[in-house]
Copies of this chain bind each other. A is one copy, B any other.
Amino acid sequence: MLTSALRVGVVGAGAMGFDHIKRLSGTITGAVVSAVIEPDEDRRDIALAHAPEAQGFASVDEAIAAGALDAALIATPGQFHEAGLLTCLQAGLPILCEKPLTKDPESSWRVVEAEIAGGKKLVQVGFMRRFDPEYEQLRELIASGRVGELLMIHAVHRNPSVPDSYDQPMLINDSVVHEFDVGPWLAGGSVTSVEVRHGRRNPNTPAHLKEPILVLMELDNGVLIDVEMNVSVRFGYQVATEAVMADGIARIGQPSGLQVWQNATFSIPEHADFTTRFTQAYDRQVQAWVTAARRFLTGEAAEAVAGPSAWDGYRVAVCCAAGVTALDRSGPVPVELPPVPEFYR
C-alpha cells in the first residue's frame, strides 16, 4: 500500500547517489528517501544524514525484505547495475537506473528479458538530456516539420578535464553514451553504424588517452550524426547540438544569462563543469519518474516509466559496444539490433 509520498530506496551512495538523495529530499515533491542502500558504512552514514526519514541497508535484498521502499533509484557504478535491476524487477519495484543500463549489450538484454517476463514496464534509464528544456524544444521543432525534414545533426560534448581513472573506452561508454540515446531520440531513427575519427591529440590529454575524437553515426532513416567528443578542453563544460533540416537550422546549448562588458570584452559566463548545465534536466527527470511511479503504484497508470526504457538502454549498449570497437578501427562499424520487441512498441 502506497503512503502519500513515494518511498524511494537509493541504491549506491557515491557522488551520483548522494546527489539524488539531496534532490529527492530537498527538491522533488511527492517522494521521500526511505532507504539508503550502500555497503560502505561511512558513505551510508553521510548519506543518511541528508535523508532524515531513511533507514540504512547494505544490500538491496535486505531493504526489500524489510519492506523499506516503494521504488528504487539505482546509482551504483555501472558494473553493479544488472544485479540491482534484476533484484528490483523480481520485487516488482519501479526503477530509475542511472545510465548506462548495464555494462554491455548481453547484460542489458538480460534485463530486457526479465522486464518482459514480468509483464510490466518498470525500468526507466537515466538519460536525463531528454528532460532538458532545450532538447525538448529541439525535438518538438524537428517533429513538427516546421523547418522541414531532419538531414544531419552536429553535436559537441566538451569537458575541461577527466579524472585519472577515465580510460579510452569511457570516451564512448561514459560520454558519447548520451549521444547514442539522444541523437536517435531527436532524429526518430535507429543507429546502423558507428565510426570514430581522430583530431589532433590535445596536449592537455592524459597520456593514456587519445582524443578529441569525432564520432559519426548513421541512422536507418539516412540522418548522419557527428559528435565531437572532447574531454580535456580546459575552458569549461559544453554540450551543444545543431540540427540541419531541409529548410533551415536549429541550435541548442548556446550561452545565456548575465551579460557583462568589461576590459574591452563582452562576455557571458559559460558552464565550468557538468554540475550546472543539466541541473534542471536531473530535477525534471526525477520528478517525472516519481510522479509516474506513484501513478503506477496507485493503479492510475499501467507502467512506471516516464522516459527512456530498458529497450532504449539496450540499444545504447549495442551502440557503445560498436563505438568501442570503432575507437581502434578505421571505417564504420555496423550496429545490428533485433526488431523492437512487441512489449516496447
Determine whether the beta carbon of A212 is less than 8 Å from that of B261: no
Determine whether the beta carbon of A151 is less than 8 Å from that of B199: yes
Stretch at the interface among A7-15, A92-100, A168-176, A214-222: A214-222
Chain A window 211-236, contacts with chain B (Cβ cutoff 8 Å), 1 for yes, 0 for no: 01010100001111010101011111
- Determine the residue in chain B with the shortest Cβ distance to A232: B246
Enumerate chain B residues within 8 angstroms of A251, measured Cβ to Cβ. 258-260
Determine whether the beta carbon of B197 is less than 8 Å from that of A216: yes
Chain A window 180-199, contacts with chain B (Cβ cutoff 8 Å), 1 for yes, 0 for no: 00000000000000000111
Stretch at the interface among A38-46, A113-121, A264-272, A317-325: A264-272
Check A103 for interface membership: any CB of B closer than 8 A.
Answer: no
Determine whether the beta carbon of B244 is less than 8 Å from that of A262: no
Determine whether the beta carbon of B265 is less than 8 Å from that of A270: yes
Determine whether the beta carbon of B270 is less than 8 Å from that of A268: no
Measured in the bound complex, the distance between the Cα atoms of B294 and A26 in whole Å is 13
Contact of A248 among B197, B221, B261 (CB under 8 A): B261
Determine whether the beta carbon of B267 is less than 8 Å from that of A267: yes
Check A111 for interface membership: any CB of B closer than 8 A.
Answer: no
Enumerate chain B residues within 8 angstroms of A149, measured Cβ to Cβ. 200, 202-203
Q: A199-B152, A259-B251 are in contact. Are A246 and B269 (CB under 8 A)?
A: no
Determine whether the beta carbon of B262 is less than 8 Å from that of A248: yes
Enumerate chain B residues within 8 angstroms of A266, measured Cβ to Cβ. 255, 267-270
- Determine the residue in chain B with the shortest Cβ distance to A52: B4
Stretch at the interface among A63-71, A123-131, A134-142, A337-345: A134-142
Enumerate chain B residues within 8 angstroms of A233, measured Cβ to Cβ. 244-249
Measured in the bound complex, the distance between the Cα atoms of B267 and A249 in whole Å is 10
Check A58 for interface membership: any CB of B closer than 8 A.
Answer: no
Known: A198-B222, A230-B244, A233-B246. 20 other contacts (CB 8 A): A28-B29, A134-B257, A141-B258, A146-B262, A150-B200, A151-B212, A152-B228, A154-B154, A197-B224, A199-B222, A200-B222, A204-B247, A234-B248, A247-B262, A248-B261, A248-B262, A256-B256, A264-B269, A264-B270, A265-B270
A-B pairs with the 9 shortest C-beta distances?
A256-B256, A200-B222, A248-B262, A235-B248, A152-B199, A255-B266, A236-B264, A267-B267, A234-B247
